[in-house]
A and B are shown apart, each in its own frame.
Chain A
Amino acid sequence: MMILLILSITQFELDATESYNRGNEYFLQGRYSEAIAAYEQALQMVRSAGIHYNLGNAYFKKGMLGKSVLHYRVAHFLAPRDQDITHNLEFVRNYRVDKVQLAASPLISILDALFHYFSLYETQILTTFFFVAASVLLSLHLIFRIRVFGYAAITAAVLCIFFFINWQVWLGEKTGRHAVVTGPEVSVLSGPADDYKVIILLHDGAEAWIRETRNGYALIQLSGGIGGWVTEAALEEIF
């Protein structure tokens, strides 16, 4: 049974690789629609930052900024230290019509970079590792009463807390219902029905946070706190 499972996973990865490489061929020929279809097919089988990145590029070439931003953000989530992903995400954000952005202070920028250096998966593994290390060292200190073990346990605990905060930051992004506008233009209304007043117009690629949904409408909040109701069909959630 185990062998069968391993073989099926391997076959999935090989099929995904074939679709991914085919997508690259289409991209090279400028056949972006076909490239998108091939990358999407690969994503059905394997989740990978590389596929999301290339998919973001293909959507950008098609002029679909929202889908492009969406896939770059997933790629950034999976591989936050990849400079290509970071560059392209910022580049595509500059192409958007809406320029809703937080004016981040240098301190916030540093903290943001610090807490997004490791991926969610990495922070989970590192948090667990340092928790176990701190526990072992504390136990040794309790049993043998050697101070060095005590100091080492404190150091491991501090590192564990640091990575745990990283973990929670990523988790907040994953479970926080972040979404991207994928239509050309979306009216943000003052209530969850089409007869409410239009208060903002959002455009392809605008990023928002979904607070709640009701009757096919989503209450969204933009950077800076402003927001309103839009049809759910105009948004696509990142995770």
Chain B
Amino acid sequence: MLTRIGKIFFCLVALLPGSALNFVASVSSTEVRIGDPFLLTVSVEGEDIGQVPAPQLPDLPAFDIGGTSTSQSTSIQVAGGKTVRRQFINFIYTLYPRAPGETAIGPCRLEWRGETYQTEPIAIKVIQGGQPAPVPQDPGIAVAEDLRLVATVNRRTVYVGEPVFVEYTLYTRLRLADINLASAPSFSGFWVEPIYDAQRIEFQRKPVDGKVYDYCVLKKSALFPVTSGRLQVASMKLNVAVVRSPRDFFDVFSRPSIVPLQSDRHYVEVIPLPVEGKPDVFTGGVGEFSISGALDRTVSEGAEPIDLLIRITGSGNIKLVEKPLIPSIPGVRVLDPETRTSVDFPGTTFRGYKEFRYPLIPQTDGEHVVPAIAIAYFDPVDKKYHTVTTERLKFTAIQTSTAGETAQAGGLRVIGTDVRYIKPDVRRLKEQGLSAGQWLWMPYIASLFMIGLALTYRRHQTRLINDRAYARKIRSSRLLRNRMREAENELKKRNEKGFYGALSRVLLGYIGDRYNLDVGSLTTGDLIGELEKRGVSADNTKRLSELLMECDLRFLPEIRTENPRLLLQKAKELISGL
């Protein structure tokens, strides 16, 4: 989108569906004075538009066309993680209004790749010319005499591309408290190269017209006209805080007065470059230039690119010099160049160089010749075009084809290489994951769990073999169940003697397995003592002792006190308590 400080008119955006071309027209101002030039800029934006033709302008009966120029740029934008590279080509026309009133610039047209684009009309208001509004001033300050902002240009008439130097200087004989920039000057129709911008105000002193002034250079720029006609060097505006001399005692504490300052506007007549005698190889240079060419090496192996370095050196509008045309070189592909510019301002003019680095890709083996490369420039001193050329350069390419290494079996000779062709159409594309999903961790957890189980089983087996107490303990539960079942069976059969015998085996067998004791060789008293040593509570040993005694009384039924079923329940409670 075009933007300009101040008055800008923005009109049609012709964006066709499926096309990446924007075609836009804008003007530097929609309200202009008679005689003052303004710029009509027709912009084309899109991809691969290097060969786009100039747009067709509408009839412009209300304007004179003062000159034309073009400018190009490339932008790289990143949006949504994608990089988009677009070219911008501006066709700039300087227009002069003829008569006051309301008028319009009709639609501009462009035909490109079978499509027709056009812009919207732009309304223009032309007013009578006049002087800039006078600067208001504090009645107590003689601004016109004591405080001035002066713009100076070194030349009034130049050729397109020839620099004009403009300088803004503040002169004062007053005490200043503060200086603020209200409006920076704009330079429509110029390519601007800043030379100096004051970072802080440091006054020096010199006499002017018999009076001594403090002065400070605020800004200095080199302006390279890119279009012909009468171009304006706009004014700079400042707000200056002036400390007034106190008129009485109370005035000592008054605030400084703010005084707006504005420099004069200047006009520069820009002469178009002569059409007659303009060489085809003119690349926009205005000044004095030389050209040199070199290769970074003389042998290319395996189709490796060789860099052709073209350097244009001299003084003038070096930054605006366009790339030279490289003639076709048989058997060599020439890629677009990379550009590097270095400019210096030693005091009176711009000097420097512009380098174009062209990668040359040899397609065939053998010696290749880069012919002399010519550029032309316009010298404003003698008002003539001059052509300068490089020397012819040579290099040798070997093994440009990797497949055949020239002659192969069958006598075929490979003369070039390229990328392999695209993959063919498919019936159905399948998603290819960059990596597996989160489910991948599940088999790992399951595997580790399985190894844990196997290790536990292995340990259990080893203890069963090596640890008798462990083995008896493991077995005790199973044996207990069998013995308990035996006791219950005896009870069901109402065989009291058998039941008490089975119950005794339940208790003694379980305690023997549980505490790894040889109960057969122990008396009841010894057994109780061993259990107490192993930390069994006195209550449990007492209950065990009573139960064993009841069992021992199976041969004396007349003195038994307990119900057999109750005894079995007590035995179960005791075992679960152990």
Contact = CB atoms under 8 A, between A and B. Distances in A.
A138 interface: yes
A60 B211 CA distance: 70
Contacts of A196: none
A21 B426 contact: yes
B85 A121 contact: no
A233 B83 contact: yes
A182 interface: yes
B213 to A, nearest CB: 34
Main secondary structure of the interface of A (DSSP, over half): helix
Given A47-B431, A97-B357, A128 B440 contact: yes
Q: Which of B76, B83, B446 has the most CB of A within 10 A?
A: B83
B336 interface: yes
Contacts, number: 154
B307 A97 contact: yes
Contact of A142 (B335, B432, B455): B455
Contacts of A143: 454, 457-458
Nearest to B446: A132
A24 B76 contact: no
B304 interface: yes
A239 B434 CA distance: 10
A17 interface: yes
B440 A124 contact: yes
Interface string B76-99: 111000110100000000000000
Interface range on chain A (Cβ under 8 Å from partner): 35 or more
A48 interface: yes
B405 to A, nearest CB: 16
A47 B433 contact: yes
A95 B361 contact: yes
Interface string B432-448: 11111000100110111
Nearest to A174: B434
B450 A234 contact: no
Given A20-B429, A124-B436, A182-B76, A132 B305 contact: no
Contact of B450 (A54, A124, A135): A135
Contacts of A232: 78
A62 B48 CA distance: 9
Nearest to B436: A124
Contacts of A9: 431
A174 B335 CA distance: 32
A63 B87 CA distance: 15
A24 B305 CA distance: 29
B417 interface: yes
B338 A183 contact: no
Interface in A121-146: 121, 124-125, 128, 131-132, 134-136, 138-140, 142-143
Contact of A95 (B338, B359, B435, B444): B359
A48 B431 contact: yes
A131 B52 CA distance: 62
B454 A46 contact: no
Interface string A22-64: 0010010000010000000010001111110110011010111
B453 interface: yes
B358 to A, nearest CB: 10
Which interface residue of A63, A91, A92 has the most chain B CB atoms within 10 A?
A91
A24 to B, nearest CB: 6
B382 interface: no
Contact of A24 (B336, B340, B422): B422
B420 to A, nearest CB: 5
Interface in B331-384: 335-336, 338-340, 357, 359, 361
Interface in B300-345: 302-305, 307, 335-336, 338-340
Contacts of A92: 419
A24 B424 CA distance: 7
Given A128-B443, A233-B77, A33 B424 contact: no
Interface string B451-484: 1011101100000000000000000000000000
A26 B338 CA distance: 29
Given A17-B427, A138-B454, A67 B83 contact: yes
6 contacts: A53-B423, A124-B435, A135-B451, A201-B340, A203-B338, A233-B77
Interface of B: 20, 47-48, 74, 76-78, 82-83, 85, 302-305, 307, 335-336, 338-340, 357, 359, 361, 417-436, 440, 443-444, 446-448, 450-451, 453-455, 457-458
